[in-house]
Amino acid sequence: MAVVIDGKEAAASVIAAVTQASGSLEHETGLKPGLAVVIVGDDPASHAYVNSKSKMAKQCGFNSIQHSLPEDTTQETLEKLVAELNADPAINGILVQLPLPKHLNAEPVILSISPEKDVDGLHVVNAGKIATGDLETGLISCTPAGAMLLVNRIHGRDLSGLNAVVIGRSNLFGKPMGLLLLAANATVTMAHSKTKDLAGVCRNADILVAAVGRPQMVKADWVKPGATVIDVGINRVAAPDKGEGKSRLVGDVAYAEAAEVAGAITPVPGGVGPMTIAMLMANTVIAAYRTAG
């Protein structure tokens, strides 16, 4: 049976380090890291994510601000708010929760965030730094940074000689994840919905990262024996065994069967999920330290 990679525990140690760094910064300079989280509309899942981000920011000793805008917010209003937050010296990190309501265009909003405050790491300046191998001076997007930390726990920092397969090519996760694995010397394959023989491609992976948004798509026979499996999926599915109308969270990997083949695997929940928030806090404290010089 595979080693279960405990994301909650890994996240707790990041949070402890962030809290300590935040306290030191305030003690030495009087500056408190400030995180502004912006959400538009009423999507309950997004509200739940945003609330836990704001709560964790407070727990880390940050100045935590949440802007909840109505569903009918205009592009102009949203970009104006971002401009105000860019200009606010008390704010070091700005996060606009995605997805935005359909009438809004996320790309110009993300581009309007100052790269120095883009704690999501989605601005082209930050994405471009990862792409060109600069992992030091920008901000790295939170979910891939957190997933890498879990990979590093199993394999160390140098992935030379290992084959990594990432399923999913989003800007939010798949692309930066592939680039981080590459920067760590893995041999990287980016797979996606148009990949031929996806199962066969995955079976070649020493490190298999699934971010497709399809519940339990990755089966045991997709997994190379002994591989490390990182499951980035968070899918809510019906759970009639728990009672009528009940649901549960599952990943993109068929966990029980994959765990019999893998060498190490992240559970859902309790794997990559907690790391995303922890790395957001880490990025915010990094951004705050940079303004302090």
Which amino acid is located at 234 in the chain?
Answer: I
**One of 66, 97, 175, 216 is an active-site residue; which one?**
97
- Which listed residue (118, 120, 231, 252) is catalytic? 120
The smaller minimum CB distance to ligand GUN, of residues 171 and 187, is found at 171
113 is in an annotated binding site: no
> 174 labelled as ligand-binding?
no
- Which range of residues in 93-101, 149-157, 210-218, 250-258 is near ligand GUN by CB under 6 A? 93-101
Q: Residue-wise over 85-100: b if at least 16 C-beta within 10 A, else e?
A: beeeeebbbbbbbbeb
Residue 98 near ligand GUN by CB under 6 A = yes
Query: Can 97 be counted among the known catalytic residues?
Result: yes
CB nearer ligand GUN, residue 95 or residue 227? 95
- Per-residue contact string for residues 104-123; x = within reach of ligand GUN by CB under 6 A: ----------------x---
Smallest distance from ligand GUN to CB 53, Å: 9
Residues with Cβ within 8 Å of 130's Cβ and at least 6 positions away in sequence, in order, are 121, 138, 140, 141, 176, 179, 180, 183
Backbone angles phi, psi at 257, to 5 degrees: -75, -35
Query: Is 247 a known ligand-binding residue?
Result: no
Which DSSP helix (H) or strand (E) runs through 128?
Answer: helix 124-131
234 is an annotated ligand-binding site residue: yes
Please choose, from the candidates 96, 49, 45, the residue with its C-alpha nearest in 3D space to the C-alpha of residue 69.
96
Strand 235-238 with 247-250, pairing: antiparallel
φ and ψ of 191, to 5 deg: -105, 160
Contact set for ligand GUN, span 261-290 (CB under 6 A): 276
Task: Report the relative pairing of strands 187-191 and 163-167 from DSSP bridges.
Answer: parallel
143 contributes a contact to ligand GUN by CB under 6 A: yes
Helix 124-131 crosses helix 174-183 at what angle (to 10 degrees)? 30
User: Taking CB under 6 A as the rule, does residue 97 contact ligand GUN?
Assistant: yes
Catalytically active residues are 53, 97, 120
Q: Which residues bind ligand GUN (CB under 6 A)?
A: 95-98, 120, 142-143, 276
Residues at the annotated binding site for NADP(+)? Answer: 168-170, 234
